[in-house]
Amino acid sequence: MSSFSALVGLSFSGAIGLTFLMLACGLEQFGVYWPLFVLMFYVVSPIPHFIAKRIGDDSDAASSACRELAYFFTTGIVVSAFGMPIILARVNVIAWGACGLVLAGNAVIFLTILGFFLVFGRSDDFNWEQW
How many CB atoms within 10 Å of residue 29?
A: 7
Averaged pLDDT of the chain: 88
- Is 111 part of any domain? yes
Task: Report the greatest alpha carbon distance in the chain.
Answer: 53
pLDDT given at position 3: 78
- Is 46 part of any domain? yes
- Is 113 part of any domain? yes
- Is 127 part of any domain? no
Q: pLDDT by residue (tens digit) across 85-119?
A: 999 999 999 999 999 999 999 999 999 999 998 88
pLDDT given at position 58: 63
Closest Cα partner for 97 from 37, 4, 20, 30? Answer: 30
- Is 62 part of any domain? yes
Number of domains in the chain: 1
Determine the residue type at 69: L
pTM: 0.85
